[in-house]
Structure 1
Amino acid sequence: MSAPLNSFTQRATPHVLALFRVVVGLLFACHGASSLFGVLGGAMGQGGTVPTGAWPGWFAAVIQLAGGILVMLGLGTRAAAFISSGSMAYAYFSAHQGTALWPIQNGGEASAMFCWAFLLIFFIGPGAWALDRVFFGERERTATPAAQQEPSAA
């Protein structure tokens, strides 16, 4: 029974990872849109917006919106995921960690989860359904096997 399941999971993995990237990017972009434009409950669920240029809230919201959209579309995915992960690490340690040790105690679950999710996306890359593949081809996929097939110059 494990062979059919193994085969299915291997075939589905690129699509599940792409779906993960799309969902994480969409949710992150929603946070940014909420803070910048007052939609979806507004900044911190109070219907307002973050004042333009306010540190760090406005800059974080811009990273959330732009990074989320880029990751969701799979465009400049690794760079956007790296910056987004760093932004969430900063948010966690500057806004939450001082209150309590554990994210459940200090309200930093979202920051911690986004940080680790974007770090994973940074390492796995854009995967299937990514605009990077449309604009830049499959360079990343074909470069490695071609290098491995070349005979060594000894």
Structure 2
Amino acid sequence: MSRHLDTSRPYALGLFRIIVGLLFTLHGVSTLFGVLGGDTVAAGTWPGWYAAAIQLAGGAFVLVGLGTRAAALVSSGSMAFAYFTKHQPHALLPIQNGGEPAVMFCWAMLLLVFTGSGALALDRLLGAREARKEAPQEAESEGAPVTV
């Protein structure tokens, strides 16, 4: 049973990344465009508009698995900032101050910084393509005589 779980780990992680990225993206879309029940913020207002832009862009990058670690790091930091500036001053615990989504997104994104994108990600697809491009060049250079 354990072996099956181990072989499934990249796919479970990939699905986790996709769901977190999708939800984060939708959060940004709802804030920037006032759809899906969200309230819009005026363009360029600090910090709401910038947070929503990070949610949209960071969430999209995490969703497709492109630059996952960097996008997740920026996204995690923005959620930590949101929690400590918007929620935490009202009460100590997230359940008391309405900050549960910010905390969950912060920690989910931070987990992706350390785990990477998992399966089904553009990072892996592009990495595999780069590896295929480099392999023939390495093979050619290994067989070539060395000149001094």
TM > 0.5 fold call: yes
Q: 1:29 aligns with which of 25, 37, 47?
A: 25
Q: CA deviation at 1:137?
A: 2.5
Equivalent positions of 1:78-93 (< 5 A) are 78-93=69-84
Aligned counterparts, 1:75-154, within 5 A: 75-137=66-128
Alpha-carbon distance in 1 for matches of 2:124, 2:25: 21
Equivalents in 2 of 1:138, 1:82: separation in Å?
25
Q: Secondary structure at the match of 2:117?
A: coil
Q: Matched residues in 1 for 2:55 and 2:129: separation?
A: 27
Distance 2:99 2:91 in 1: 10
**Structure 1: which 5+ residue stretches go unaligned?**
44-48, 141-154
Q: Give the match's secondary structure for 1:53.
A: coil
Partner of 2:89, secondary structure, is coil
State the identity %.
60
Q: How many aligned positions are there?
A: 131
1 CA distance for matches of 2:129 and 2:88? Answer: 41
Query: How far 1:138 sits from its partner (Å)?
Result: 7.6
Return the TM-score normalized by structure 1: 0.82
Output the CA distance in 1 between the equivalents of 2:129 and 2:117: 11
Q: Could you say which structure has the greater relative contact order, defined with CA pairs below 8 angstroms and 6 or more residues apart?
A: 2
What RMSD, in angstroms, separates the aligned Cα atoms of the two structures? Answer: 1.4
Q: TM-score, normalised by structure 2?
A: 0.85
Deviation digits for residues 16-74 of structure 1, max 9, x if unmatched? 0000000000000000000011111122xxxxx11000100000000000000000100
Amino acid corresponding to residue 76 of structure 1 in structure 2: G
Quick check: which has more Rg, 1 or 2? Answer: 2
